[in-house]
Structure 1
Amino acid sequence: MTPLAGTLLQILRGFMLIFWVVMLGLTVFTPDQVDGNLAWTTAVVVAVYAVTFGWRLLTAQLGMNRCYLLAEGVAVTNRFRRVTDSVAWSDVTGIRQTTVVELSMGAHRMEIHRNQPAKPLVFLAPGVKSRLVEALLAEGRRAGALQ
């Protein structure tokens, strides 16, 4: 998922929550509409947030979409915990870091460039102050791949 898509989903969830608060306020004026309006709106809001947080817990528990920092290099896994790409520190020529900070989220896009004519290893590290980025840069300096 791209940072733009993640941001849009967060904004949509926020609007849905605002819509639910409006529906809650409207039931004060028309209490007979609790079953018709508030019940299904509450069910949708609870379902969306339950799926969102459930998916976060599941992916964290199963180790999906991870970046592993090793003494020999970096490995990135996919949704099925299979290594999709890896690079040894001896093959690293440089790292390009792009930081995206928006109103509702922040992320770091890391590109690890290699000696060989292969595509760079690219991954996203969520968060404005990501410990993964700090650890990656420190490990790269320790291995001698970065200055």
Structure 2
Amino acid sequence: MRTRVAGLGLGPIRGDYGLMTPFAGTLLQILRGFMLIAWVVMAGLTVFTPDQVDGNLAWTTAVVLAVYIVTFGWRLMSARLGMNRCYLLAGGVAVTNRFGQVTDFVAWSDVTGIQQTTVVELYMGAHRLEISSNRTAKPLTLLAPGVTSRLVEALLTEGRRAGALR
């Protein structure tokens, strides 16, 4: 994957960061939250019915652990395959889709501005970034997960270094 991004002619890769799609990211955060709530309820029920520990708490704990292990494994695999990534290059920014193919890129010399919106909800926090360029009318849109995102800091730092941002 890195060879495809490096082949865009925007210089060496300075960093790559995970992105998320709004619908899938929000849905998965909510589902994981509900699973934790179900686990807390099962743990509470075992106080009232201790003989049901094997029936309730053991299975619920196994399911919660399995989901979090699968989530961690998916993060590692998707990063290795270059899926839903934002690559910061010396000469610009490139974004890949869920299949690891480059969907859009913009050179720092074409950037006219970056608009950032922070969304913090009950189950999710994210940063929405729109990178406007004079190359196209449609901005390059990114959704970085987390309330404090390393991608936002790195993107703004790299943009200032390249002279595209003040």
Task: Judge same fold: TM > 0.5, yes or no.
Answer: yes
Q: 2: distance between equivalents of 1:31 and 1:131?
A: 45
1:136 paired residue number: 155
Amino acid at match of 1:87: V
TM-score (norm 2): 0.72
Partner of 2:89: 70
Partner of 1:117: 136
Q: Larger Rg: 1 or 2?
A: 1
Alignment of 1:1-147 (within 5 A): 1-2=21-22, 6-147=25-166
Offset at residue 86 of structure 1 (A): 0.4
Letter in 2 for 1:75: A
RMSD: 2.4
Gaps of 5+ in 2: 1-20
Instruction: Flag as ranges the 4+ runs of structure 1 deviating above 6 A.
Output: none
Partner letter of residue 148 of structure 2? K
**One-letter amino acid matched to 1:27:** T
**Distance in 2 (alpha carbons) for counterparts of 1:42 and 1:50:** 12
Structure 2: distance between partners of 1:47 and 1:85: 35
Residue type of the alignment partner of 1:49: Y
Deviation at 1:109, TM superposition (A): 0.9
- How far did residue 107 of structure 1 move? 1.8
Structure showing greater relative contact order (alpha-carbon pairs closer than 8 Å, 6 or more residues apart): 2
The alpha carbon displacement at 1:27 in A equals 3.0
Displacement of 1:98: 1.0
Aligned mates of 1:49, 1:101 — CA distance in 2: 22
Identity of counterpart residues, as a percentage? 82
Deviation at 1:8, TM superposition (A): 4.6
Amino acid paired to 1:72: G
SS for the counterpart of 1:90 is helix
